[in-house]
Amino acid sequence: MSADNPTKQANPSSAVPGLSWQQLKELTHHLMCEGKLIEAGFAGLRIACVLEDSPADQLYEMRFAFFAGAQHLFASMMTMLDPGSEPTAADMVRMSQIDAELRAFIREFELRHFPAKGAA
């Protein structure tokens, strides 16, 4: 629990500072095997963003934001899809739009966080 917010409790599997890279990788694999894809994604984010030594409060807030984004996307997908068990053309357009938006985000993320390849 945080001193500034007694109800705030970090998830021990994802917000414990001081885990080694190998431990984070093992945790990611373990969580995926348990069906915790979003939790595994957050562990992967910690690896990609070099959050190895981040304080527990920062990890808690980042995890909260990460899950809020995942919840928003999932809820939006569930409400925007047309009724029925088969995807409609409109469903496919919406999914393509989500895909394009997320791909643009990943391109931006990679440009900011990964070294450029080649020489200028």
What pLDDT digit, counting tens, does each position of 30-64 carry? 988 999 989 988 888 887 777 767 888 988 999 99
Number of residues in the chain: 120
pLDDT band at 7 (very low <50, low <70, confident <90, very high): very low
Asked whether the whole model's pTM tops 0.75, one would answer: no
User: Residue 27 pLDDT more than 90?
Assistant: no
Instruction: Tell me what percent of the chain is helix, strand and coil, each rounded to the nearest 5.
Output: 60, 0, 40
In the three-class reduction of DSSP (H, G, I as helix; E, B as strand; rest coil), residue 17 is classed as coil
- DSSP label at residue 102: H
* Sign for the pseudo-dihedral over CA of 19, 23, 29, 35: negative
* Sign for the pseudo-dihedral over CA of 33, 42, 28, 48: positive
